[in-house]
Amino acid sequence: MLSIADTLFQSRLLTGSGKFASPTLMRDAIGASGSQLVTLALKRIEQGQTPDRTLSELRQLNVQLLPNTSGAKTAQDAVLAAKIGRDLLGTHWVKLEIHPDPRYLLPDPIETLKAAEELVQLGFVVLPYCSADPTLCLRLQEVGCHAVMPLGSPIGSNQGLQTRDFLRIIIEQCTVPVIVDAGIGAPSHAAEAFELGADAVLVNTAIACASDPIAMARAFRLTCDAAMLAREGRISSPALQARATSPLTSFLER
Amino acid sequence: MQILINQRPIHCTSHDTLDSVLNVFAQGSGVDINDIAVAADNTVIPRSQWATYALTANASFSVFVAVAGG
């Protein structure tokens, strides 16, 4: 079971609610994924904007909501967003994300660390989206974050685990759960994250933008379950030379 | 007097509370009053304070909702 801040989750697949063609499709896909921790964003109400049904649809599922701080460009913005999320959703959990650069959406490590420290002191359970920087992840852990969420590749890019060598170090060093976030574009990428030793993955675009999001959600669910079973079974280490699987007796020779 | 909610001018009287003004605003925006959060001057005004929060002329509030996001 995945344990974050003393809360247990059977599913190791976190999902995002963005980019789905409709709120009902989002609900059905997330339901099919088996995810128990689901992110959503916060937004100022715009005049003439059609009301967003994400929240009412998600409330029909038995999932824990995880508001993010997307849109925040500084630590100060992020702290305010976290407080808004707490008041709106009644949760002190927050996915901290500060990415001022709209092109690559790469997280600002300095503002993220600053915000994380303040939010932890305010009593939040902080799950920071961060670059795959082992030193930063240790610092985030030190200030009291309950997990770290290093990126595999840029958000929504479907490039998979471009940061795999650094993820490996992060997984080796961190004692809090490591949730690989961003860039996971296929179930095989999620499997790779678990084979590296990740505790969980967060998937959004790969499910939401699939031709059949419900089928893809199931595929991720099964992959995550299979990868964890494989971990229990212990994957054999690779070898350079062949290791015979059949007896090498020369039975045809007389 | 006039206040601003998400940059939109709203007319109200001294008898109005933040609670009542937000109710009208939420209805007009098609959202449930229970599904919003409010901030003023970069500070969240907790739901528990809406009924007693004193409105002053030209006060500016930001109202937020949850939306889809990753």
Closest residue, chain A, to B42 (C-alpha): A80
Domain that holds residue A37: 2-45+52-233
Q: What is the pLDDT of residue B14?
A: 81
- Indicate if the pLDDT at residue A254 is higher than 90: no
| Residue B49, min C-alpha distance to chain A (Å) | 12
Residue A227 placed within a domain: yes
Show which residues on chain A lie within 8 Å of chain B, measured between beta carbons. 16-20, 23, 26, 39-47, 49-52, 54-56, 65, 67-68, 70, 76, 80, 83-89, 155-156, 202, 204-205
Which chain A residues are Cβ-neighbours of B27 within 8 angstroms?
Answer: none
CATH fold of B2-64, please? Ubiquitin-like (UB roll) (3.10.20)
Residue A182 labeled ligand binder: yes
Closest residue, chain B, to A16 (C-alpha): B70
pLDDT tens sequence across B12-70:
888 889 999 999 999 989 999 999 999 999 999 999 999 999 899 899 999 999 999 99
Q: Do A52 and B8 touch (CB under 8 A)?
A: no
- Indicate if the pLDDT at residue A252 is higher than 80: no
- CA nearest neighbour of A219 among A24, A19, A33, A27: A33
Ranges of each domain in chain B? 2-64
**CATH number for the domain including A166?**
3.20.20.70
pLDDT tens sequence across A102-125:
899 999 999 999 999 999 999 999
Residue A112 placed within a domain: yes
Residue A57 placed within a domain: yes
Is A19 designated active site?
Answer: no
Q: Number of folded domains in chain A?
A: 1
Specify the amino acid at residue B1. Answer: M
The partner residue sitting opposite A70, judged by closest CB among B8, B65, B69, is B69
* Catalytic hit among A43, A73, A83, A95: A95
Residue A202 placed within a domain: yes
Residue A248 placed within a domain: no
Residue A102 placed within a domain: yes
